[in-house]
Homo-oligomer: A and B are copies of this chain.
Amino acid sequence: MKPLSATEALAAIDTGTLTSERLVRDCLDRITERDPVVKAWVHLNPDLALAQARAADATKGGLLRGIPVGVKDIIDTYDMPTGHNSPIFEGTQPFGDAACVALCRTANAVILGKTVTTEFANRHPGPTTNPHNPAHTPGGSSSGSAAAVADGHVPLAFGTQTGGSVIRPAAYCGVIGYKPTFGDFSRVGIKMQCHSVDTLGLMARTLDDIALFRAAMLKLPPVAIDRGGSAPRIGFLRTPIWDEAEPDTKALLEDVAKKLGAKDVSFTPAFKDILDDHAAITGWESLRNYADERLRNPDKVSAELMAGMKRSEAITLDRYVAAQRKTVAFKAFIDALFDSVDVLLCPSAPGEAPKGVEYTGDPRFNSIWTLAGTPCVTLPVGTGDMGLPLGIQLVGLRHADDRLLSTAAWIAARSI
A residues adjacent to B (C-beta < 8 A): 78, 89, 92, 94-103, 105-106, 183, 186-189, 192, 195-196, 217-220, 285, 287-296, 317, 321, 324-325, 328, 331, 399
Q: Are A99 and B288 in contact (CB under 8 A)?
A: yes
Q: A192-B188, A220-B317 are in contact. Are A292 and B89 (CB under 8 A)?
A: no
A98 to B291, CA, bound (A): 8
What is the chain B residue whose CB lies nearest that of A217?
Answer: B288
Q: Are B95 and A89 in contact (CB under 8 A)?
A: yes
Q: Are B188 and A321 in contact (CB under 8 A)?
A: no
Contacts of A78 in B (CB 8 A): 292, 296
How many copies of this protein are present in the complex? Answer: 2
Contacts of A98 in B (CB 8 A): 292
Q: A95-B89, A321-B399, A324-B399 are in contact. Are A288 and B219 (CB under 8 A)?
A: yes
Contacts of A102 in B (CB 8 A): 291-292, 294-296
A107 to B186, CA, bound (A): 31
Q: Are A186 and B99 in contact (CB under 8 A)?
A: no
Contacts of A95 in B (CB 8 A): 89, 92, 94
What are 11 A-B interface contacts by the 8 Å CB criterion? A98-B292, A99-B292, A102-B291, A102-B295, A183-B195, A186-B285, A186-B288, A187-B192, A188-B290, A189-B292, A324-B399
Least CB distance, A399 to chain B, in whole angstroms:
4
Q: Are B103 and A291 in contact (CB under 8 A)?
A: yes
Least CB distance, A222 to chain B, in whole angstroms:
12
Q: Are A290 and B195 in contact (CB under 8 A)?
A: no
Least CB distance, A220 to chain B, in whole angstroms:
6
Main secondary structure of the interface of A (DSSP, over half): helix
A99 to B292, CA, bound (A): 6
A32 to B321, CA, bound (A): 43
What is the chain B residue whose CB lies nearest that of A192?
Answer: B188
**Highest count of chain B CB atoms <10 Å: which of A96, A196, A217, A324:** A96
Q: Are A219 and B188 in contact (CB under 8 A)?
A: no
Least CB distance, A379 to chain B, in whole angstroms:
24
Q: Are A99 and B189 in contact (CB under 8 A)?
A: no
Contacts of A183 in B (CB 8 A): 195-196, 324
**Highest count of chain B CB atoms <10 Å: which of A99, A291, A324:** A291
Contacts of A105 in B (CB 8 A): 295
**Highest count of chain B CB atoms <10 Å: which of A103, A292, A321:** A292
Q: Are A296 and B97 in contact (CB under 8 A)?
A: yes
Give the 6 A-B residue pairs with the shortest CB-CB distance, closest first.
A102-B291, A102-B292, A99-B291, A321-B399, A97-B292, A188-B289
Q: Are B291 and A106 in contact (CB under 8 A)?
A: yes
**Given A92-B95, A187-B195, A218-B317, 16 extra CB contacts under 8 A:** A78-B292, A78-B296, A97-B295, A98-B292, A99-B291, A101-B292, A102-B294, A102-B295, A102-B296, A105-B295, A106-B295, A186-B285, A218-B288, A219-B288, A219-B291, A324-B399
Contacts of A325 in B (CB 8 A): 399
Contacts of A94 in B (CB 8 A): 95
A279 to B325, CA, bound (A): 26
Contacts of A106 in B (CB 8 A): 291, 294-295
Contacts of A217 in B (CB 8 A): 288
A153 to B139, CA, bound (A): 52
Least CB distance, A104 to chain B, in whole angstroms:
9
Least CB distance, A360 to chain B, in whole angstroms:
23
A304 to B218, CA, bound (A): 23
Contacts of A285 in B (CB 8 A): 186
A295 to B189, CA, bound (A): 15
Contacts of A290 in B (CB 8 A): 99, 188
A89 to B78, CA, bound (A): 13
Q: Are A186 and B289 in contact (CB under 8 A)?
A: yes
Contacts of A99 in B (CB 8 A): 288-292
A292 to B294, CA, bound (A): 29
